[in-house]
Amino acid sequence: MRRVVATGTFDIIHPGHIYYLEESRKLGDELHVIVARDRNVRHKPRPVIGEAQRLKVVRALRVVDSARLGDETDMFRPIREIGPAVITLGFDQHFREEELERALRERGIGAGVVRIGEYTGDPCTSTRRIIERILEIRGSPGGPPNLRKGGS
Amino acid sequence: MRRVVATGTFDIIHPGHIYYLEESRKLGDELHVIVARDRNVRHKPRPVIGEAQRLKVVRALRVVDSARLGDETDMFRPIREIGPAVITLGFDQHFREEELERALRERGIGAGVVRIGEYTGDPCTSTRRIIERILEIRGSPGGPPNLRKGGS
């Protein structure tokens, strides 16, 4: 059983996430996703959605065989527990492949690291772009009058 | 084969949507989702995400057997094509069960209509609340300085 680990914040799910997960899944037989803890997201703005809710949405995706939250203090612990053959990085994830592989080796983890390319099939495929769009169309100075109309 | 039809905008996917779809799926053997067209969302603010992208995310959910966009002029057409035993409404969908059933009968469609209850398990389970939260934490007057840091 060749396990693949994919990781990410998955704040507002978009087709870029789905592409990343589907491409990751192709590299093995089982896709395990580690969802970033709220307090560990420090290299970009804090997530809009809390970790428990982000995890639920990731778990609901067909491509995902198993998903869990990351460890708050040791990012390698869930990786060790899963024992993947491959760990994938998204096109914009801030780790360098070689550095991550070295860190894994130092901890006795033999997984390979593969970077998945960027998905360009849709206009709103980053949480940043989705938020920019929301601020643009709903965030008029003086308050968002549209919001009172509801929407789900 | 007992088909169930669920419908919605599914602008920013959250556990409330997943609950609605999972409860709908339990009423039959196959869940078919009709995703609202951009131009047909008139009773609440226009979707942030375009219809093609919303459809892709709905299709990626495990609980969904089939998903398609609605018809721009005749909402009953895809329902007639699918031939469901049941059509479900979300707790906040603006149709009344009896009115919808009557409209279906008038068109020779024998499906029952079932309203699914509200999901209350997470704090951000409506697109409106997610957008309010984004405006609150990122939409400071004078521009969103946080956005320059990226985020996906």
Q: Give B79-137 pLDDT, tens digit per residue.
A: 999 999 999 999 988 888 999 999 999 999 999 999 999 998 887 778 888 888 888 88
Separation in Å, CA of A61 to nearest CA in chain B: 4
| Beta carbon pairs, A and B, within 8 Å | 153
Mean pLDDT of chain A: 89
Separation in Å, CA of B61 to nearest CA in chain A: 4
> Does the pLDDT of residue A107 top 80, yes or no?
yes
pLDDT computed for residue A121 by the predictor: 85
- Which residues does chain B have within 8 Å of residue A133's beta carbon, measured at their own beta carbons? 48
- Which residues does chain A have within 8 Å of residue B46's beta carbon, measured at their own beta carbons? 137
B120, closest residue in chain A (CA to CA): A53
Hey, how many other C-beta atoms are within 10 angstroms of the C-beta on A40?
15
Q: How far apart are CA B96 and CA B119, in angstroms?
A: 19
Question: What beta strand segments (E) does chain B contain?
Answer: 3-8, 30-35, 66-69, 86-89, 112-115
Output the CA–CA distances (angstroms, integers) from residue A16 to A126, A135, B72, B119, in the order listed: 7, 20, 27, 27
Closest CB to A147: pick one of B18, B125, B132.
B132
Q: What ipTM is given for this predicted complex?
A: 0.86
pLDDT digits (tens, 9 = 90+) for A23-69: 999 999 999 999 999 999 887 888 999 999 999 999 999 999 999 99
pLDDT computed for residue A92 by the predictor: 86
> Does the pLDDT of residue B41 top 90, yes or no?
no
Separation in Å, CA of A42 to nearest CA in chain B: 10
Closest CB to B147: pick one of A90, A131, A144.
A131
Residue range B38-53: mean pLDDT, rounded:
89
> Does the pLDDT of residue B56 top 80, yes or no?
yes
pLDDT digits (tens, 9 = 90+) for A13-27: 999 999 999 999 999
Question: Are B49 and A131 within 8 A, CB to CB?
Answer: no
Q: What angle do CA B114, B119, B124 make, to 5 degrees?
A: 135
Instruction: Give, for B97, the enclosing helix (H) or strand (E).
Output: helix B97-106
Instruction: Give, for B144, the enclosing helix (H) or strand (E).
Output: none
| pTM of the model as a whole | 0.88
